[in-house]
Amino acid sequence: MQAQLDRRAAVAALLKNRKDTLVVSGLGSPTYDLHSVGDHDGNFYLWGAMGGAALIGLGLAQAQPGKRVLALTGDGEQLMGLGGIATIGVARPHNLDIVVIDNQHFGETGMQASHTGRGVDLTAIAAACGFIATGMLRTIAEVERLAAQLAEPGEGPRLFVIKVLAENPPRSLPSRDAVFIKNRFRAHLGFAAG
Amino acid sequence: MHSPQPDLEARTSDDWPAELYRILKAADVRQMSYVPDAGHSQLIRLLSADRDVTTNVLTTEEEGIAIAAGAWLGGQRSVLLMQSSGVGNCINMLSLSAIGRFPLLMLVTMRGEWAEFNPWQVPMSRATQPSLEAIGLKVMRAETADDLVETVESAAALAYESDQQIAVLIGQRLIGKKKW
């Protein structure tokens, strides 16, 4: 089935009422998507470290058990960190959710087809690794329901895949200075810059 | 009743994992992640049994680099344990620690350099220090138990107080020959 959903509309709906959710975005389009809905001190944007978004989310969720943490990433980024899904499943954080914006392609490098359009199902992998909730979404109404669902605490990690159109909307570029973004993020949580 | 004091030299030589545990606790390390190594087994047990430390077993070592960065974003200190073969898995993920100046402390048990039985350990052993230095880490090495304890104490201060990215290599000579 051909996806019809616009990725920016999906991310905007997902984060419309984010409140104090902390968000880590994966390399490539998810970082632009996150920035496009409004820069935020509680955002940590990746410009590299491919495969690391969900695991940065894990370390953060473990350090901040009272806060909701969202790893917002793409299919290619999450595929590079498949083992991390097993690690997160074992760790069982109650405050970490992974949302994969899945266009079934490596969008940053010329739209080469990825595994997720060829039968690899990240939700099934997450379920097999012990995630307590998983799902695949294709409409904006489903994304709006997911946003409401994620606002309620879970009892373990959750992973959702949002199937979107394979297209590159205009880039929305956050700062590439990781030290600045790190210190801003920590200050947002009340920690000194050091 | 008078209890005899253990001899300091013998204590540190025999029980360096307990000393490392004490140092990591004193440094307020709250997260530990690892891919197991026989040389780390006692330290893994001690940290895993500590209710104030969250531990993560990894499928591959670079996951621990990302977890450590996330822990720091959330205000906690993390330590990463692995053997030298795992260093090769970490290289690209170390970009995160290097470019973000995230505090990082890796304790790496060396294989393939001293009375090694398995030749497959040798190439990555040779590449461990140069590859870590190439991506921008500071590498410290210890060959004796006393030196190791002092080195890890210093490395922890450099990492967590001075935002440095440090790998401490624990010589295979210190860990001892693997029994086959």
- Structure confidence by residue, pLDDT tens digits, A79-117: 999 999 999 999 999 999 999 999 999 999 999 999 999
Closest CA to B76 of B90, B91, B56: B56
User: Which chain A residues touch B99 with a CB distance below 8 Å?
Assistant: 48, 178-179
Residues of A with CB under 8 A from a CB of B: 22, 24, 44, 46, 48-53, 55-64, 67, 81, 83-84, 86-87, 90-91, 178-179, 181-182, 185-186, 189-191, 194
Q: Which runs of E-coded beta strand occur in chain A?
A: 22-25, 43-45, 69-74, 96-102, 105-106, 112-113, 133-137, 158-163
Q: In sequence order, what are the residues at sequence separation of 6 or more whose Cβ sits closer than 8 angstroms to the Cβ of residue A148?
A: none
Closest CA to B70 of B98, B48, B102: B102
Closest CA to B70 of B97, B52, B43, B36: B97
* Rounded-to-integer distance, Cα B109 and Cα B80, Å: 11
Instruction: Tell the CATH superfamily of the B8-175 domain.
Output: Thiamin diphosphate (ThDP)-binding fold, Pyr/PP domains (3.40.50.970)
- Type and span of the H or E element at B166: strand B165-170
In chain B, which among 60-79 make CB contacts under 8 A with chain A? 60, 62-63, 65-76, 78
Q: Decide: pTM greater than 0.90.
A: yes
ipTM: 0.98
pLDDT digits (tens, 9 = 90+) for B147-172: 999 999 999 999 999 999 999 999 99
Asked if A163 and A5 touch (Cβ cutoff 8 Å), the reply is: yes
User: Which chain A residues touch B70 with a CB distance below 8 Å?
Assistant: 24, 55-63
pLDDT digits (tens, 9 = 90+) for A27-60: 999 999 999 999 999 999 999 999 999 999 999 9
The answer to which of B8-17, B47-56, B110-119 has the lowest mean pLDDT is: B8-17
The per-residue pLDDT of chain B, averaged, comes to 92
Residue A155 has pLDDT above 60, yes or no: yes
Q: Which CATH architecture has domain A7-188?
A: 3-Layer(aba) Sandwich (3.40)
Closest CA to A52 of B60, B139, B20: B60
User: What letter does residue B23 receive in the DSSP assignment?
Assistant: H
pLDDT at residue A189, rounded to an integer: 98
